[in-house]
Amino acid sequence: MKTVQEPRPAGQGIRQSMSDLHTWVGLLLGWVLYAMFLTGTVAYFKDELSQWMRPELAHQTELPDQAVVAQRIADELGTVAPGSPQWSMRLPDGRNNSVYAFWRTATGTPGQRGFGEANFDPATGQKVTARDTLGGDFFYRFHFQFHYMPVIWGRWIAGVAAMFMLVAIVSGVITHKKIFVDFFTFRWGKGQRSWLDAHNAVSVFGLPFHFMITYTGLVTLMALYMPWGEQAAFKTPAERQQLNAELSAFIQPGKPSGQAAPLASVEAMVRQAQERWGRDNVGRVTATHPGDAAARVAVARGEAGRVSMSPQYLEFEGTTGRLLAVHEGVGAAAETRGVLYALHLGRFSDSVTRWLYFLVSLAGTAMVGTGLVMWIVKRRQKLPDPERPHVGFHIVERLNIVTIAGLSVAMTGFLWANRLLPQDLVARANWEIHVFFIVWLLTLAHAVLRPAKKAWVEQLWAATALLALLPILNAVTTQRPLWHSLVEGDWVFAGTDLMCWVLAGLHAALAIRTARHRPKLRSTRKPSREPVTTSATLRKGEA
């Protein structure tokens, strides 16, 4: 029908081919993209989610002095990881109530580098005794490297999917053509037409974001996807080290002197950083060869309010605390990468901007979701026999259910596991993740066994129930129920609980609409078919 309106055959050709490209590029990795989009969206609140998932760690009413905390944890790391060639800690800030630190282990078989990591209580300096969990970082990591596979494979899959997304966005814009004319257009109750309008709305309103997030997503891992330029340009270890210094504030450990010498006051070093960047704006403290005469300490600036991930840090001589260098700028190419990287992560955001990121990213999730559903809606009308669709239709339909409704069930299941698994379970953090995948597999089994529409409705109701009951589970299993959080002004807990109810409402609305939905099967456009048969099939479908 569209083709009739198009006056020039040449234009028609490109638009049609772009439309086909859009359809198939969008479908082929659409399920992967949906999962990446949704977990990535949630990951904008990963620090808050991590706090919620470690309820033993008290609500942070005021920020501790970062300098004091840095000294406390540095002392503790001297005990926990003695002789470590390098440790690094992320100081507590407005979004983190614990200190996350990791270190290279001192001894080990030659050629093998071991790592240790832990969360520390800023007030006591001790390792936190909270339940073992990956917290919101699970969604964050899953978003670009998935699970149960080597990290590199996951990142390659994510990269290919992102490239597909980019192609889908560009071809989608070309296909759409009436972006401005149809800007506020929505035709209600028109089946495929309504789905297309909805798909266009969530895509067009968030278009700057969708394009930015896809492109910058590729940039974050560009060194993996396209290493050749770097390999050609930087050949010696010294050059590589210089490159690293442009990209991150992690100073690389050189050769230790072998002479023991205590580390100077870390507190004094962080104080200098605080004078430069503000009291609560120190991000990370890294030390190489602490306890050796050749020790170095880097104190890096926090991420807040700065649209760049390019490193800014002060470098100190470890034994004397003398300021060796101030790194506050990088070259133009490195800064370009730093800005694009920062745009993707959005860690510079104040809370309003973070919510904007979350909401527009949710629109991106809806863009992929509506696109997937539309593939089905469009083809259902053309099925010769809706009772027995062809294999491709069947597979896409089931995968849509598992990806869209099933993922909500699985992600909420992950949070349930966090509250329900026994505290002393071995490898507890891993079991939370196993539960996520077990639940997701169950939704797959369910979607295969049940009729499509019933599977949709039941899984959406399951997600609704799990989300709606989660704040109650939290109230029963922790000391921090919603009413308590509200009184305390603990917005991390109250916000998470309330958000569960908002999302439960959203899933309930989707469930009700899906349950009421009567697909319009083609009855007019195929005159050979008896109308009686069609309505009989319809009735059977409804029963």
Partner 1 sequence: MSHPLSFMLCLAGFTALAFAMDRQQHDLIGRSLPASVTRALRIAGACALLLALGVLVAWQGWGLGLVMFSGHTSLTAGIVHVTLIGSARVYARASKH
How many residues make contact with partner 1 (CB under 8 A)? 27
Q: Could you give the CA distance from residue 242 to residue 244 in angstroms, rounded to a whole number?
A: 5
Residue 330 found at the interface with partner 1 (CB under 8 A):
no
Residue 506 found at the interface with partner 1 (CB under 8 A):
no
What's the closest the beta carbon of residue 346 comes to partner 1, in angstroms? 8
What's the closest the beta carbon of residue 516 comes to partner 1, in angstroms? 15
Q: Could you give the CA distance from residue 176 to residue 173 in angstroms, rounded to a whole number?
A: 5
Q: Which of 232, 333, 352, 543 binds partner 1 (CB under 8 A)?
A: 352
Contacts of 430 (CB under 8 A, 6+ apart): none
Nearer to partner 1 (CB atom), residue 115 or residue 186: 186
Angle made by CA atoms 47, 51, 57, in degrees to the nearest 5? 140
Nearer to partner 1 (CB atom), residue 2 or residue 322: 2
Residue 353 found at the interface with partner 1 (CB under 8 A):
yes
Q: Could you give the CA distance from residue 267 to residue 278 in angstroms, rounded to a whole number?
A: 15
Nearer to partner 1 (CB atom), residue 90 or residue 347: 347
Confirm if 447 and 402 have CB atoms less than 8 A apart.
yes
Angle made by CA atoms 292, 294, 300, in degrees to the nearest 5? 100
E strand or H helix that includes residue 120:
strand 115-120
Confirm if 34 and 403 have CB atoms less than 8 A apart.
yes
Q: Could you give the CA distance from residue 297 to residue 61 in angstroms, rounded to a whole number?
A: 30
Nearer to partner 1 (CB atom), residue 153 or residue 183: 183
Q: Is 104 exposed, middle or buried, given 0-12, 13-18 or 19+ CB atoms closer than 10 A?
A: middle
Nearer to partner 1 (CB atom), residue 352 or residue 543: 352
Residue 339 found at the interface with partner 1 (CB under 8 A):
yes
Q: Could you give the CA distance from residue 463 to residue 508 in angstroms, rounded to a whole number?
A: 8
Residue 115 found at the interface with partner 1 (CB under 8 A):
no
Interface segment toward partner 1; rule CB under 8 A; list 160-168, 321-329, 341-349, 414-422: 341-349
Nearer to partner 1 (CB atom), residue 14 or residue 502: 502
Q: Which of 69, 314, 363, 417 binds partner 1 (CB under 8 A)?
A: 363
Provide the token pair at 194.
């309504």
Residue 305 found at the interface with partner 1 (CB under 8 A):
yes
Of residues 181 through 220, those in contact with partner 1 by CB under 8 A are 183-186, 188, 201-202, 205-206, 208-209, 212
Of residues 90 through 109, those in contact with partner 1 by CB under 8 A are none
Nearer to partner 1 (CB atom), residue 320 or residue 353: 353
Confirm if 279 and 66 have CB atoms less than 8 A apart.
yes
What's the closest the beta carbon of residue 491 comes to partner 1, in angstroms? 17
Interface segment toward partner 1; rule CB under 8 A; list 39-47, 66-74, 348-356, 516-524: 348-356
Nearer to partner 1 (CB atom), residue 203 or residue 496: 203
Provide the token pair at 366.
């809806």
Q: Which of 173, 359, 429, 498 binds partner 1 (CB under 8 A)?
A: 359
**Which whole-number Å values give the CA distances from 438 to 43, 253, 406, 432, 456, in the listed order?**
21, 42, 11, 10, 19
Residue 308 found at the interface with partner 1 (CB under 8 A):
yes
Report residue 329: phi and psi, to 5°: -155, 155
From first CA to last CA, the distance across the chain in angstroms is 34
Rg (CA), the chain: 27
SS3 286: strand
**Which whole-number Å values give the CA distances from 319 to 90, 192, 328, in the listed order?**
21, 70, 23
What's the closest the beta carbon of residue 198 comes to partner 1, in angstroms? 10
Ordered alpha helix ranges (H), 6-45: 9-28, 30-43
Nearer to partner 1 (CB atom), residue 264 or residue 339: 339
Residue 332 found at the interface with partner 1 (CB under 8 A):
no
Nearer to partner 1 (CB atom), residue 253 or residue 371: 371
Residue 343 found at the interface with partner 1 (CB under 8 A):
yes
Of residues 60 through 79, those in contact with partner 1 by CB under 8 A are none
Residue 512 found at the interface with partner 1 (CB under 8 A):
no
Interface segment toward partner 1; rule CB under 8 A; list 12-20, 62-70, 114-122, 352-360: 352-360
Q: Which of 174, 345, 356, 508 binds partner 1 (CB under 8 A)?
A: 356
Q: Which residues bind partner 1 (CB under 8 A)?
A: 183-186, 188, 201-202, 205-206, 208-209, 212, 305, 307-308, 339, 343, 346, 348-349, 352-353, 356-357, 359-360, 363
